Structure 1
Amino acid sequence: MRLLRAEDLFRKVLEGGSKKKAARLLGLDVGSKYVGLAVSDEQNRIALPLGVLCRTKTNINLMADDFKTLVLKYSLAGFIVGYPFNLHGQHCKNAVQVRLLAGELSKTGKLDDMSYTYWDENFTSKCVEALLHPLKLNNPNEAKTMVDKFAAVYILQGYLDNMNRKLRSVDKTEESDGT
């Protein structure tokens, strides 16, 4: 797996789609027990909830296999990994587990052709918890996995919105320049 700048990964996705299938992105909300997953639609405009993977210290190869399956099933071109930056854009102490997962997945060699980027995940779980609170989910495990899955949606949607907005502003600039 290769770490790319956010804009470079989006450019790769836009250029990487074939005529048969568009390249898509997978959003990840990395936690200590679960990794929430969301996938973009084929136009890379909308994030859709997908599920969660259980995370343990010993199942990294199984996780890499699961990711490889998702890459093939959804024509994925890259991963958008939620990353906890602090208010000044610096790394937080919780970022260690995110970097650890990315490093462990890279070491398996099963995702060598994939790229990823980090995207700010601050307050995603809190926002999702607030949205889900009125549902009064009684099963704590169900509630936790639901939060993780929709936090991944929130992360991926933030990335897609930002990248598509940048793309439109570049297109408008080129139109006004006559290029």
Structure 2
Amino acid sequence: MKYVKPLRLLGDALKTKVSVPGRFLGLDVGDKYVGLAVSDPSNMIASPLSVLLRKKTNIDLMATDFQNLVKSFSVSGLVVGYPFGKLNNVEDVVTVNLFIEELRKTEKLKDVKYTYWDERLSSKFKRRQCWTSLPL
């Protein structure tokens, strides 16, 4: 796996010489679970896909699952939610960093690019968006 900046990941996906650019696989890494979402073919909207149980003993199985998802959805990169900023818990940062490092060590995704996406305030934004979209 190779880290790239968010705009480069999108640019690389758009430069591919195929009729439809690759999709992105989103990862929401937690202590016990990893939430997965996949983008639509135009990379405008991500939809929930599944949730994987996270244990130290199953990182190899998870890497295999990611390999299969990369193939079946033509994934061009991973977008990993990252708790940037001082307001977030340091444990959350360590959790994400350790997971990505463990995933890299499996070497099953060595040709896959990934980037981090700032997930600060994403829950607040979702709640506000939900409330503002309700009819009065």
CA shift for structure 1 position 45 = 0.9
2:60, 2:124 → 1: CA distance?
30
Q: Which residue of 2 aligns with 1:53?
A: 52
2:79 alignment partner, SS class: strand
Contact persistence 1:39–1:49 (CA under 8 A): yes
CA shift for structure 1 position 46 = 1.1
Q: Which residue of 2 aligns with 1:6?
A: 6
Q: Which residue of 2 aligns with 1:15?
A: 15
Q: Which amino acid aligns with 1:97?
A: T
Q: How many residues align?
A: 130
From 97, 100, 110, the equivalent of 1:99 is 97
Change (3 A) 1:6 1:93: same
1:96, 1:129 → 2: CA distance?
26
After alignment, is 91-100 or 71-80 more displaced?
Answer: 91-100
1:121 aligns with 2:110: no
Q: Which amino acid aligns with 1:108?
A: T
Q: Which has the higher strand share?
A: 2
Q: Which amino acid aligns with 2:73?
A: Y
CA shift for structure 1 position 22 = 2.7
Q: CA RMSD in A?
A: 2.4
Q: Which has the higher helix share?
A: 1
Task: List runs of 5+ in structure 1 lacking aligned partners.
Answer: 133-179
- Looking at CA atoms only, which structure, 1 or 2, has the larger radius of gyration? 1
2:12, 2:21 → 1: CA distance?
12
CA shift for structure 1 position 12 = 0.8
Q: Which residue of 2 aligns with 1:83?
A: 82
Q: Which residue of 1 aligns with 2:133?
A: none
2:58, 2:124 → 1: CA distance?
28
TM-score normalised by structure 1 residue count: 0.66
